[in-house]
Amino acid sequence: MHIEAEATICSVRAHGEHGAIVRAMTGEHGLLSGYVRGGHSRRLRPVLIPANVVMAEFRARTEEQLAGLTVELVHSRAPLMGEPLAAAALDWATALTAATLPEAQPYPHLHAALDGVLGAIEAAPAARGWAVALVRYELLLLAEMGFGLDLERCAVTDATDELIWVSPKSGRAVSAVAGQDYADKLLRFPRFLSEGGEADWADIFDGLRLTGHFLSRDVLIDRRADVAAARERLVERLKRAVA
């Protein structure tokens, strides 16, 4: 196996005294893992930071063997690591990607969306500028993993208007009329997910609660459960930022 591609670093794990196992997202080949010799060296530590973009070269004698990986920095987002809120967002988006996607399966829509989210975090002066993109990324990832929500029409009446709730059990939209007696048991369906555009903080937190519920239930289970801590840190920092 020999693959050369531009890739986004999603996770870095120490291996031995000096090496590191890196998972990186590529456009054509999906998420790939590789062993970086000297991954903890002074030269490579600033390169092997989640959210950085690198030119990656993966080499392995067989498909079953962990590839050796060499990297060259293309774009660094390391300066954002000094900003707690931006750093938490980068950490969560990349950790979610690394923890959930299967190896070596292309997800071009997710690759493009991840690049868009990371770019928005880097470019936006305020969190509200990228929080909407992050919610949309989580929603897309759920769909790509086979847990997509049905938000087009009401699960009860089949109506396509006034959809303001989502059932936490079925993941289907519920209209205002059909859900009026069950509001305390339903999840809010924020308007920006159906109509697009910007959102206020109330809608953003509703969106995060919505996607968070289904991520925790369907995706972040078993060995992936500890990844949810990164999301909790991000949500808490967002709440403090807008308090």
Model pTM score: 0.94
Enclosing H/E stretch for 110? helix 108-123
The pair phi, psi for residue 104, each rounded to 5°, is 60, 35
Q: Say whether pLDDT at 226 is over 70.
A: yes
Give me the half-sphere count of Cα atoms (radius 13 Å) on the Cβ side of residue 92: 28
Do residues 7 and 74 touch, judged by C-beta distance below 8 A? Answer: no
Measured N-to-C along each axis, helices 201-214 and 128-144 cross at an angle, to the nearest 10 degrees, of 20
Q: Output the pLDDT for position 16.
A: 83
Do residues 101 and 30 touch, judged by C-beta distance below 8 A? Answer: yes
Residue 43 Ramachandran class (φ > 0 left, ψ -120 to 50 alpha, else beta): alpha
Q: Rounded mean pLDDT of 5-32?
A: 95
Q: Which one-letter amino acid corresponds to residue 73?
A: L
The class level of CATH for 81-151+189-243 reads: mainly alpha
Could you give the C-alpha distances from 171 to 39, 64, 138, 165, in angstroms and in order?
A: 42, 37, 14, 10
Measured torsion, CA atoms of residues 74, 48, 32, 75, in degrees rounded to the nearest 10:
-20
Both tokens of 127, joined, read 């969190």
Q: Rounded mean pLDDT of 103-125?
A: 94
- Three state DSSP letters for 212-243: HHHHHHHHCCHHHHHHHHHHHHHHHHHHHHHC
Fold for domain 1-76?
OB fold (Dihydrolipoamide Acetyltransferase, E2P) (2.40.50)
Both tokens of 49, joined, read 């930071």
What whole-number distance in Å separates Cα of residue 227 and Cα of residue 47? 22
User: What are the residue ranges spanned by the domains of the chain?
Assistant: 1-76, 81-151+189-243
**CATH topology identical between 1-76 and 81-151+189-243:** no
Range of weakest confidence among 41-45, 52-56, 210-214: 41-45
- pLDDT tens-digit map of 169-181: 999 999 999 999 9
- pLDDT tens-digit map of 138-180: 999 999 999 999 999 999 999 999 999 999 999 999 999 999 9
